[in-house]
Amino acid sequence: MTEAAERKRGRGGGGAARRAARTAVSIDCAPVIQRGIPNMEMLSEEALEIIETNAETVLEEIGVNFVNNPAALERWREAGADVRGERVHIPRGLARKLCKTAPGSFTQLARNPERSVEIGGKGLVLAPVYGPPFVRDLDGGRRYATMEDFRKFVKLGYMSKWLHHSGGTVCEPTDVPVNKRHLDMLHAHMTLSDKPFMGSVTEPSRAEDCVEMCKILFGEEVATSQPVMTSLININSPLTFDDVMMGALEVYASNMQACIVSPFIVGGAMAPVSTVGTLTQVLAEVLAGVAYSQLIRPGAPVIFGAFVTSIDMNSGAPTFGTPEASQILYGAGQLARRLGLPFRSGGGLCGSKLPDAQAAYETSNTLNAALLGGVNFMLHACGWLEGGLVSSFEKFVLDADQLGVLHRLAAGVSHDEEAQAMDAIREVGPGGHYLGCGHTQRHFQSAFWRSDVLDNKPFETWSEEGARDSQQLASLRVQKLLDTYQQPAMAPEKAEELAAFVARRKAEMPDAFA
Amino acid sequence: MTEAAERKRGRGGGGAARRAARTAVSIDCAPVIQRGIPNMEMLSEEALEIIETNAETVLEEIGVNFVNNPAALERWREAGADVRGERVHIPRGLARKLCKTAPGSFTQLARNPERSVEIGGKGLVLAPVYGPPFVRDLDGGRRYATMEDFRKFVKLGYMSKWLHHSGGTVCEPTDVPVNKRHLDMLHAHMTLSDKPFMGSVTEPSRAEDCVEMCKILFGEEVATSQPVMTSLININSPLTFDDVMMGALEVYASNMQACIVSPFIVGGAMAPVSTVGTLTQVLAEVLAGVAYSQLIRPGAPVIFGAFVTSIDMNSGAPTFGTPEASQILYGAGQLARRLGLPFRSGGGLCGSKLPDAQAAYETSNTLNAALLGGVNFMLHACGWLEGGLVSSFEKFVLDADQLGVLHRLAAGVSHDEEAQAMDAIREVGPGGHYLGCGHTQRHFQSAFWRSDVLDNKPFETWSEEGARDSQQLASLRVQKLLDTYQQPAMAPEKAEELAAFVARRKAEMPDAFA
């Protein structure tokens, strides 16, 4: 039987009711993914042990630099490290021992308690793209991001069922002074969404502003003793911890706020051109960074991060969705689990300039590796384009839709009596078909994951509707989501207090644009 | 550091020489993938045992139909089955016992011995799209396929480094009478490529023609004792074996030619709407089909096939790259390994009408599952579009490029001293960079997989070059490959004999178009 003929067999029945159900505004949010499937253990035990041994050698022999940070050097000295200038040589075993006070998993609270997320274990929390200075959409093309764009992305994230987290710098609002952006950004996350969010890391004082705003939103006691932000602390690879990022980490860790300690590596430039060599450096860097967080405050929640791209050795451009990047992701996940820490990597990474086939191949390669590689916190899960230079509206909803695939795949396979479906096989028999049988009727609405944006209509229908490609379909969905967006409620006095804080802090500072 | 700044660090050096090397005609063909990584075992032991038990129940209680095939019924009766009418009830354990004579792996010979492929074990053989009546390209749009299209796809397959197999019906040449197509198709595979290929299954007499042509190409002794074709025998699910497909299987198995015994299932229509229920039926069907092949000739090579789509329960359209399809693929792979048979599934499957983001998301989801799920023979690895209704020229080269990702990922991770790169980490140290170091220089040309079609240039260069999307880039590559194609040599007397056979057989038959 051809697929065309098969399609006809499946048509009809209850279409109007289902269409009505689909047009209702949905602000459902799926629970955090809990894997019912094993992780993919790609590297051998032997390889992992070599990496762990070599990482200790790196820390002891070569050491790491803590730049412009005398207090950090003093903390390391007191902990038993051999500090020479800004170079910290960490005796074999010390960093790993210090990491032991970091929790294996933790809960980040959201202002809507139903949206709080557990990060670690078998879980996977999905957060949107972070950092791009540009945005792109079908109508407006590529342009510098504004605060209005930022707000739209927060709204889209709030409306995305498969996204658990509102993220942080979903794009850089370049129309707001650089020293005030963090206030508007955090305010947008706090008021336009009720999902958990990330804090600013671009200056320690901005991290402090974020803590202050969280005190308003969550109360002072909660905001200094329980994670209400998870923030991204990039390591300046190779082996360098700068004072800005460490300063932000110090603010957050001392308030029990979560940090992702994340080497940022373009392979072949900031790390060796081999998977095991790169993983060795990643592990050394994470060990040092996480250990340092525990010197600030034992028990502060941290995530083992790894952002590693491969590189086009011809042009020097970073490349994404490549086999080397996947191998490193899988290996880093194994190392994180052996260390007992939550793991951050992956996302909808791609190098393409457009939300086209290249973007989707690269994205899917990364999303699949992240799911199977045991990632617990996935930044850039949707909306990332052009190597992180661009936040794409269309790609945001396309990727967010694919996150539904991860949810279903992670759930694993039921084998209870109903799932065995022997009654259906008996009822239908050789040569029959299943569409009408009792088992199918009981399960057809939930049996298969369904895309909210991709087109599975017959060719003729699709042609009549304008032969739209994925980008065009996504553009329609962006508009629909923004049109139906409704702001989640917040107590008026809290909203006023937040707005007043932002206004006051902005008034206290002159504008700065660099 | 931003990605943009990072790109600059990587530029320069030896570009001209590398550009020259890239412009040479390449007819390299990568060896069959040998996995250096573990398979993903998604289903539990308990679930697999339940499926195996239930499949035996299906074969015994419900049975399978062998339609219009009295000889098959007689063979089953002699083997100990309970035959009632056309229904064959197979006693518990009998089918599995009969399967034991099928080899766990086998070599399919190509006329170029370097292109022969081992199918089974840890291997993965990649073959192109099979079956579409339409083709699509950027310039010509969607149209009925012709023999000229067919030849172009065979040439593209021959030119594709990551493709090991020339395939079979890469598109349906609708301009050739239906009863003569197989002759032109096989002739094209034999003469325009030197990779292994598939035989016709649309009539037993056409399978016989294919065997005759292989006797010319490989010699009579080889063509009747060693696999020189691997052909696709679809089971008419649920539980039905029609006389046309079984007739072709009988021809091939009796000549020791390989068959893929493959349930063809649109989930929810031809099988229950549950993963375990579908896998139960798949296993029952494969057990019956493979057992039957061994009744024809013990030791005949066969592959455990599973082509299972999910379904859009609203429109009845088959859907691809979905979590349910991946779960079934993973589970079927586990069942095939437990049965000790090579496994066929996966491919670049998608439902999209265009080679756009939808096509690529769905394709990558399937390709990744097929690699990690232990597939040994992947049909539809490249070129599949619109649910198999269309062979796409652009998607052929885009997918074929992604097959390179699978090769690299499957190779696993080296951890020898050179891969550990401790010399590089010591040489570069904190804050340095790796582009100039000795280790990078030794490895940069082979360290990272490189796409032959995707664009990783900086935004400005890409814009100046026309801001081309993946489809446009792929269109250029299709043209380049066809322009540089050179036919592999064949002894003139053999070429003449093949051409004469085709001409004679065509002259013996009236044209038929249905």
Which candidate from B7, B267, B467 shows the least CB-CB separation from A317?
B7
Chain A residues lying within 8 Å of B408, measured CB to CB: 322-324
With an 8 Å Cβ cutoff, are B454 and A62 in contact?
Answer: no
How many angstroms separate the CA atoms of B330 and A456, rounded? 24
Quote the strand ranges of B267-360, DSSP E. 302-305, 307-311, 318-319, 343-344
Residues A140, A73, single domain; the answer is no
Contact yes or no for B454 and A358 at CB 8 A:
yes
Q: In this predicted structure, what is the pLDDT of residue B24?
A: 45
* Domain extent at residue B288: 99-411
Q: What is the mean pLDDT of chain A?
A: 94
pLDDT of residue A514: 73
Cβ–Cβ below 8 Å for A54 and B422? yes
* B195 within some domain: yes
Domain count, chain B: 2
The predicted model scores a pTM of: 0.94
Q: Is B471 among the domain residues? A: no
Nearest by CB to residue B413, choosing from A47, A57, A407, is A47
Query: Terminal CA-to-CA distance of chain B, rounded, Å?
Result: 64
Q: Of A387, A411, A435, which one is at a domain's C-terminal end?
A: A411
If asked whether residues A255 and A166 sit together in one domain, one would say yes
Contact partners, residue B506, CB within 8 Å, separation at least 6: B180, B183
Sheet holding A141-144, edge to edge: A141-144, A134-137, A390-392, A384-385
Pairing assessment for the beta strands B123-126 and B33-34 based on DSSP bridges: antiparallel
Q: What is the structure's pLDDT at B444?
A: 87
Contact residues on chain B for A455, CB-CB shorter than 8 A = 351-353, 358
Average pLDDT over residues A485-507: 97
Which residue of A lies nearest to B45 if distances are taken between CA atoms? A415
Residue A7, in any domain of the structure: no
pLDDT over threshold 80, residue A17: no
Are B321 and B407 contained in the same domain?
Answer: yes
Q: What is the mean pLDDT of residues A178-204?
A: 97
Residue A269: inside a domain: yes
Q: Tell me how many residue pairs between chain A and chain B have CB atoms under 8 A apart.
A: 469
Encode pLDDT of A52-107 as tens digits: 999 999 999 999 999 999 999 999 999 999 999 999 999 999 999 999 999 999 99
pLDDT of residue B513: 75
Contacts of B289 (CB under 8 A, 6+ apart): B233, B235, B241, B249, B261, B302
Residues B207 and B144 in one domain: yes
Residue A273 shares a structural domain with residue A325: yes
CA distance A403 to A28: 14
Find chain A residues with C-beta within 8 A of B354's C-beta.
467, 469-470
- Residue A44, CA atoms < 13 Å, CB-side half-sphere: 11
Neighbours of A431 (CB within 10 A): 16
Confidence tier at A330 by pLDDT (50, 70, 90): very high
B299: phi then psi, degrees, rounded to nearest 5: 95, -10
Q: What is the pLDDT of residue B315?
A: 82
Of A411, A428, A445, which residue is a domain's last?
A411
Residue B321 three-state SS? coil
CB pair distance less than 8 Å for B421 and A445:
no
Give CA angle at A326 (A325, A331), nearest 5°: 100
Compute the nearest-CA separation of B117 from chain A (Å): 23
pLDDT at B5: 41
Q: Which residues of chain B, if any, have pLDDT below 70?
A: 1-26
One domain for residues A82 and A104: no
- CA-nearest residue to B411 within chain A is A323
Confidence (pLDDT) at A23: 47
Predicted confidence (pLDDT) at residue A269 exceeds the cutoff of 70: yes
Q: Answer yes or no: do A360 and B365 touch at CB < 8 A.
A: no
> What sign results for the dihedral spanned by CA atoms A294, B2, A348, A115?
positive
* Token code pair at residue B121: 């074990």
What does the pLDDT read at residue A105? Answer: 98
Q: What is the pLDDT of residue B22?
A: 46
Amino acid at A265: I
Instruction: Output DSSP code: residue B314.
Output: T
- Tell me whether residues B354 and A469 touch, CB distance under 8 A: yes
The proportion of chain A whose per-residue pLDDT surpasses 90, expressed as a percent, equals 92
- pLDDT, one tens digit per residue, over A109-137 is 999 999 999 999 999 999 999 999 999 99
Closest residue of A to B422, CA-based?
A277
Query: Do A78 and A128 lie in a common domain?
Result: no
- The token pair at B82 is 């309970």
Point out the residue among A364, A432, A455 whose CB comes nearest to the CB of B365: A364
Contacts 24+ apart (CB under 8 A), A3-8: A3/B266, A3/B318, A3/B387, A3/B388, A3/B389, A4/A458, A4/B389, A6/B266, A6/B269, A6/B316, A6/B318, A7/A458, A7/B315, A7/B316, A7/B317, A7/B318, A8/B316
* Domain-terminating residue out of A360, A393, A411: A411
Residue B212 is inside which H or E element, if any? helix B204-218
Residue A476 resides in a domain: no
User: How distant is the Cα of A142 from the closest Cα of chain B, in angstroms?
Assistant: 10
Same domain membership, residue B70 and residue B145: no
pLDDT for A6: 39
Both structure tokens of A6: 């098969």
The residues with which A142 forms a beta bridge, in sequence order, are A136
| Residues B283 and B52: beta-carbon distance below 8 Å | yes
Contact indicator for B334, B48 with CB cutoff of 8 Å: yes
Same domain flag for A75 and A140? no
In the numeric block, the tokens 């801001």 are attached to: B467
pLDDT in tens, A408-432: 999 999 999 999 999 999 999 999 9
Say yes or no: A407 and A355 in one domain: yes
CA distance A425 to A76: 67
Kindly list the residues from chain A whose CB atom is less than 8 angstroms away from the CB atom of residue B460: none
Within a domain: A252: yes
The answer to whether the Cβ–Cβ distance between A458 and B356 falls below 8 Å is no
pLDDT at B11: 40
Q: How far is CA A441 from the centre of its chain?
A: 37
pLDDT for the residue B316: 85
| Contact between residue A300 and residue A99 where contact means Cβ atoms under 8 Å apart | no
Q: Do B425 and A469 touch (CB under 8 A)?
A: no
Looking at the complex, report in whole angstroms how far the Cα of residue A232 sits from the nearest Cα belonging to chain B.
Answer: 15
Question: Are B228 and B327 found together in one domain?
Answer: yes
| Between B332 and A7, the higher pLDDT residue | B332
- Contact list in B for residue A130 (CB cut-off 8 A) is none
Contact B321 A440 (CB under 8 A): no
Assigned domain for A299 exists = yes
Which stretches of A58-124 are DSSP H helices?
Answer: 70-79, 94-99
- Same-domain pairing of A86 and A105: no
In a domain, A128, yes or no: yes
CATH of the domain at A132: 3.20.20.480
Residue to substitute from B434, B461, B471, B473, interface A, most A β-carbons within 10 A? B434
Asked if the Cβ–Cβ distance from A41 to B38 is below 8 Å, we say yes
